[in-house]
Each structure stands twice: as structure tokens, then as C-alpha cells.
């Protein structure tokens, strides 16, 4: 999972020295209670959507680099390809990101963290160096994670973490970055994916897993259910608070259809993530992807399909590749004839409408496009189907459906929302 072989030796020595010095301080760190709340009511965190007006002309390349890292990470430690770092612009290069404010330490410091279902480490310090973080307890270990389009290395600490009032974890394992790349404008990541993804991220204990915030909240008895509900909405204005994470339950006001569950896929490498099996058709049942395994991912902007499925979609729509953006572009006449995509997951069909398939036109300039152009959010994953990672349903999909990651029952849930059929793009 981690490119530990690329870490600079002087930095490793420095961090090892700092970790060792912390060992002598461990007895001076206050002891933590087992829990700070008896509440088991689901708690919700508001998410802020941040629109980067100058954006990036590498939206597709960033997503493809992330997909490449997903495949590599599933093969084990030290497998992240060196060329993945060519687009180390995880936060600043993305046109739209979702963040949440998390309080770390006591007294607390507030951090603005990216939400990520495609990774599971929680870490801070991208915006400022604070290796010692005096209210946190040292673990005497070093943590390093590469995301394909960003990375960090630092010290692993045990800190009091408050996600929201009523949900405080006294001893959450948190990475405190010494060096990070690609995270300007944010302080780090709140990783809420499967805990298996943390294996290999601790440099000195590579076989050890790092419990996620969801895992620890469940262990402490703070959650009614071992699940996370996730709500996003399509773009309608800049820098608004319009998303939500719900720990321990779902927010029924955020969806209007039946919440249907599908088991997480058993097919690797999708099985390492919040992975599902699905088939995709276009229009009146024209096959795009007869079957495939892939993932639901909040850190991917587009919907990426295996190359053979993408080619079918391109042919059905008549779209042409736009060299300036890397996205497919269609004419107004082709848009008028654009048919819905049907995603069948767990035997239930989810419709991605005509409008849901296009890039928000108010953000065309932000990603280097023609302000009057019509671009599609479906693109090429960069590998043919049958690899075990045949698609990534990114934010283009998730902004139209309510999502639930049911950790305890190894399944994912989806439901339509008031925005499934919106025409805001």
C-alpha cells in the first residue's frame, strides 16, 4: 500500500528519532477514558463543497492515476507505481472537493479534512507542521500513504477526536504529517473505507491495521448501527454546505426512494474497497457493461468505465474526445438525444439521467473547457474489463444517490434522492 522504498533516508531517520524521543514522554501523557458519551443516536456531520474556480485541466488524469493506485495498493505494500505521482494534486487539482471540520486533541485543534471512502487512514498536518501535538499520545511508529495523486509521511499518534458533538473518540489513531504532497487548501483526510486498507501504512509495523473512526466509534458503543450514511447534491452554488455524513444510521430526509442494499463484491481488487457488482445499459437496454466489479468512491470525480465499456458508451452517444479537457464532448443536438444509463446493482436499477451524465456547465472553464460546451462525466478507466476493477462510480454518480456503507454487514446501500432527476447541470 505504501511506497516506503521511496522515502528519503534522512527523513526516515529523523522521524525514527522523534518517535523514539516520544517513547520517554509516554508516561507524561494523560490517560483517556473509555468513552465520552453514552449516546447511541446517529450523528450527522455537515460537509462543505469547495469549488476551485481555477480548477484543473487534469481531472481525467487525476482520476485515472487514482484508479491505478487502487489496483496497485490491492497487490500489497510498495506497489504504488512511480508514475502515479505525476499528478500529485489530490486537493488543489480537483475542481470540486468535499470536506468536514474535525477537532483533534484536547484542547482541540480544528482541521478541514477531505472525505474519502477509497482510503482508511485519518491524518492531519498538510497545512501546518505539528509533529509533537502535545495533547496526543505517541505510538512510536511512522505512517506513510500514497494515493496515486497525493501522498504523506509522518508520525502516528493516539488523539482525542471529536467528529461532532456527541461523537468523541478518546484514542483515535491519527497520522500527523511531516511531509505531504498534493493537499494544499486542506489539512488532511478523514478515511472511512475498509480497515484492511490501512495494513502496510505503518512503516515499523507493516502487518498492523489502524482502526478507522467508524471502527472505534462502534467498539466504544457509540453507534446504533455499524454504518455510515453519505449524502451529496449536484452543484448549484460555490462553497456551500450541502453534503452530510451520518455515523451510526441514515438520514431519511436525504432520500426519497427505497434504500436497497447489495453485498460487497468478492472480486479482487474491488473487494479491497467499498466494492460492488453491477451491470450497465444505455437507453432501451443497449449493453454497456454486461457485468463487472468496481467501487463507489468519494475521491473520484468522474464515472470511469473499463475501456471496452467506455467505447460502447462513446459510440452510443456519438461523442467525440475533446483534447483540451480529455472528456467526451457532444453537440446540443446529441444532448437532446442522449438516453439514460441504467446501473443495475443488487438487482435494482438506478437511472443516471441525461442531465446527470454531463459535466456542470458552470464549471466548464474551471477544467479548461469551452464555457458553452457540453461534456460528459463518463470516461475511460484505462484498462479493459475483467481486471476485477471494471468501473469507479465517483462523485458524478454519488451526487445523484444516497449511499450507505454498512461496515458490519459488508454491504452497500443506495437510494434515489430529490436530486436524482435534477436538471442543475
Q: Is 62 exposed, middle or buried (0-12, 13-18, 19+ CB in 10 A)?
A: buried
**What is the sign, positive or negative, of the torsion defined by CA atoms of 15, 20, 21, 25?**
positive
Q: Is 34 exposed, middle or buried (0-12, 13-18, 19+ CB in 10 A)?
A: exposed
Determine the 3-state secondary structure of 158 from DSSP. Answer: strand
> Are 303 and 328 contacting, i.e. CB atoms less than 8 angstroms apart?
no
What are the residue ranges of helices labelled H in 40-113?
59-74
User: d(Cα 133, Cα 39) in Å, to the nearest integer?
Assistant: 28
How many DSSP H helices and E strands does the chain contain? 6, 23
Active site residue 187: no
Residues sharing a CB contact under 8 Å with residue 175, sequence separation 6 or more, in sequence order:
121, 122, 123, 124, 125, 143, 145, 152, 154, 155, 156, 157, 188
Q: What one-character DSSP code corresponds to residue 366?
A: G
> Are 404 and 250 contacting, i.e. CB atoms less than 8 angstroms apart?
yes
Planar angle of CA 261, 264, 269, nearest 5 degrees: 155
Residues sharing a CB contact under 8 Å with residue 17, sequence separation 6 or more, in sequence order:
none
Count of C-beta atoms within a 10 Å radius of residue 236: 14
> Are 413 and 406 contacting, i.e. CB atoms less than 8 angstroms apart?
yes
**Which of 297, 380, 390, 406 is labelled catalytic?**
297
C-alpha cell at 404: 450507505
Residues sharing a CB contact under 8 Å with residue 242, sequence separation 6 or more, in sequence order:
47, 49, 232, 233, 236
User: d(Cα 17, Cα 144) in Å, to the nearest integer?
Assistant: 16
C-alpha cell at 57: 485541466
Active site residue 116: yes
Alpha-carbon distances, residue 127 vs 124, 154, 168, 177, 258 (angstroms) = 8, 13, 23, 9, 41
**Which of 63, 89, 116, 277 is labelled catalytic?**
116
User: d(Cα 218, Cα 119) in Å, to the nearest integer?
Assistant: 18
List active site positions.
Answer: 116, 297
Amino acid at each position: 500500500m505504501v511506497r516506503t522504498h521511496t522515502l528519503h533516508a534522512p527523513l526516515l531517520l529523523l522521524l525514527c528519532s522523534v518517535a523514539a524521543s516520544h517513547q520517554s514522554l509516554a508516561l507524561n501523557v494523560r490517560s483517556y477514558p473509555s468513552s465520552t458519551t453514552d449516546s447511541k443516536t446517529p450523528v450527522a456531520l455537515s460537509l462543505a463543497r469547495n469549488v476551485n474556480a481555477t480548477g484543473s485541466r487534469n481531472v481525467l488524469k487525476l482520476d485515472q492515476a487514482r484508479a491505478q493506485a487502487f489496483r496497485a495498493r490491492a497487490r500489497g505494500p510498495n506497489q504504488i507505481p512511480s508514475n502515479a505521482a505525476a499528478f500529485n494534486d489530490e486537493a488543489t487539482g480537483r475542481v470540486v472537493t468535499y470536506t468536514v471540520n474535525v477537532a483533534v486533541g484536547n484542547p482541540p485543534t480544528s482541521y478541514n479534512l477531505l472525505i474519502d471512502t477509497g482510503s482508511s487512514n485519518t491524518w492531519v498536518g498538510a497545512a501546518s507542521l505539528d509533529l509533537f501535538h502535545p495533547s496526543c499520545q505517541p505510538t512510536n511508529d511512522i505512517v506513510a500513504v500514497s494515493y496515486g495523486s497525493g501522498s504523506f509521511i509522518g508520525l502516528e499518534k493516539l488523539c482525542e477526536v471529536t467528529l461532532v458533538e456527541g461523537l468523541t473518540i478518546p484514542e483515535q489513531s491519527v497520522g500527523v504529517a511531516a511531509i505531504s504532497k498534493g493537499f494544499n487548501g486542506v489539512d488532511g483526510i478523514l478515511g472511512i473505507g475498509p480497515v484492511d486498507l490501512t495494513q502496510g501504512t505503518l512503516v515499523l509495523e507493516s502487518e498492523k491495521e489502524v482502526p478507522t473512526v467508524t471502527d472505534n466509534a462502534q467498539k466504544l458503543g457509540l453507534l446504533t448501527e455499524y454504518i455510515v450514511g453519505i449524502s451529496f447534491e449536484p452543484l448549484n452554488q460555490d462553497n456551500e454546505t450541502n453534503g452530510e455524513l451520518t455515523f451510526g444510521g441514515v438520514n431519511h430526509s436525504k432520500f426519497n426512494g427505497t434504500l436497497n442494499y447489495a453485498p460487497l463484491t468478492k472480486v479482487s481488487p474491488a473487494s479491497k474497497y467499498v466494492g460492488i457488482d453491477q451491470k450497465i445499459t444505455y437507453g432501451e437496454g443497449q449493453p454497456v457493461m454486461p457485468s463487472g466489479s468496481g467501487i463507489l468512491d468519494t475521491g473520484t470525480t468522474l464515472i470511469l468505465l473499463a475501456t471496452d465499456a467506455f467505447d460502447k458508451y462513446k459510440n452510443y452517444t456519438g461523442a467525440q474526445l475533446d483534447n483540451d479537457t480529455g472528456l467526451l464532448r457532444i453537440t446540443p443536438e446529441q444532448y437532446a438525444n442522449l438516453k439514460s444509463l441504467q446501473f443495475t446493482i443488487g438487482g435494482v436499477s438506478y437511472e443516471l439521467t441525461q442531465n446527470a451524465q454531463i459535466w456542470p456547465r458552470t464549471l466548464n472553464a474551471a477544467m479548461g473547457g469551452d464555457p458553452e460546451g457540453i461534456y460528459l462525466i463518463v470516461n475511460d478507466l484505462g484498462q479493459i474489463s475483467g481486471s476485477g476493477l471494471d468501473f469507479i462510480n465517483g462523485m458524478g454518480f454519488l451526487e445523484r444517490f444516497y449511499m450507505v456503507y454498512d461496515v458490519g454487514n459488508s454491504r452497500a446501500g443506495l437510494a434515489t434522492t430529490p436530486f436524482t432527476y435534477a436538471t442543475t447541470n
